[in-house]
Amino acid sequence: MSRKKIALIGAGNIGGELAALVARKELGDVVLFDIPDKEGLAKGKALDLEQNGAVLSHDAGIKGSSSWDDCAGADVVIVTAGVPRKPGMSRDDLLSINLKIIRNVAENVKTKCPNAFVIVISNPLDAMVYEMKKITGFPAQRVVGMAGVLDAGRFQLFLAREVGASVKDVRAMVLGGHGDTMVPVTSYCTIYGVPVTQLIAPDKLQAIVERTRNGGGEIVKLMGTSAYYAPASAAVVMAEAFLKDQKRVVPAAAYLDGEYGYKDLYMGVPVVLGAKGVERVVTINLTAEEKAMLDKSASAVRELIEASKKL
């Protein structure tokens, strides 16, 4: 069996951490790609990380590059190309800049990595992953966006800290678009099977929901740029599920063709991730209030997609 090839498009904060995690887990050989201006950064990080492997005793080839030829034939492509938020910006403020970048990346993915499973991270996430599918023409199963695993992780942490339980025992679900309208679904959150609604008072739970919605912004405000450790880990969970056919059930931005009543839209829903990519969108029952929030989120995503079409 030959080694898998994982192309990381964007060698910035998330790209570097992705390379470190993929190498540590020995998921395959890595190409860390960036634009020619940042070739030195990509090559430098790649060399540092290969040396890191020699110290920690894990072995994966890591190549820094600004040539798409090096990405050719990748099994998995993870896209972080673009600019992150600065304090005071919303994810949607990034649309016009990142749309140009994602279009360029998607054209290259289409020709150089025609069989890849593509995970998009760049923001505004739902519009970026929609554009990636549109330009590559890849089947919906092979183009997915990372947001839900990260947002659920943030929700899980805040819930665990509130009840004084381990994060390992908390399971939470965050659906909808990756923006201010995301829907942390409290009715499906449990601590080792016990619904959080039995353990946390409604006002405290609502405060945690709000903190989750603003979870990215809280970090941007603190350090002047986006989070990168947890976002990288979340994407690696998804890549590993694909590479090892794990059939993980996770929230992710998936293409909806009628599921949940939405058509021609990417949005966060529970999916099964395995060797075929997004193998299934899982449909769950929502309360009327949760469905109303999801509708609002879907409208916000649709507005972004419509705005993209005009740019």
Ligand X SMILES: NC(=O)c1ccc[n+]([C@@H]2O[C@H](COP(=O)([O-])OP(=O)(O)OC[C@H]3O[C@@H](n4cnc5c(N)ncnc54)[C@H](O)[C@@H]3O)[C@@H](O)[C@H]2O)c1
Distance in angstroms (rounded) separating the CA atoms of residues 19 and 271: 25
Residue 292: closest CA among 186, 181, 205, 204: 181
Per-position x/- string for 3-22, each x denoting binding to ligand X as judged by CB under 6 A, each - no binding: ------xxxxxxx-------
Q: Which two tokens stand for residue 43?
A: 């090559």
What minimum distance in Å lies between the beta carbon of 45 and ligand X? 10
Contact 268, 261 (CB under 8 A): no
**Please, which of residues 34-73 interact with ligand X by CB under 6 A?**
34-35, 38
Q: Which entry of 63, 85, 112, 178 is annotated as an active-site residue?
A: 178
**Residue 58 annotated to the active site:** no
Contact 116, 109 (CB under 8 A): yes
What minimum distance in Å lies between the beta carbon of 224 and ligand X? 11
Q: 22-35 burial, b if ≥16 CB within 10 A, otherwise e?
A: bbeeebbbbbbbbe
Distance in angstroms (rounded) separating the CA atoms of residues 2 and 229: 29
Per-position x/- string for 238-277, each x denoting binding to ligand X as judged by CB under 6 A, each - no binding: ----------------------------------------
Report the residue number whose CB is nearest to ligand X: 12
> Quick one: which of 19, 23, 143, 146 contacts ligand X (CB under 6 A)?
146
Nearer to ligand X, 81 or 135 (CB): 81
Neighbours of 172 (CB within 10 A): 25
> Quick one: which of 20, 64, 119, 123 contacts ligand X (CB under 6 A)?
123
Binding-site ranges for ligand X (CB under 6 A): 9-15, 33-35, 38, 80-85, 94, 98, 101, 104-105, 121-123, 125, 146-147, 150, 178, 225-228, 231
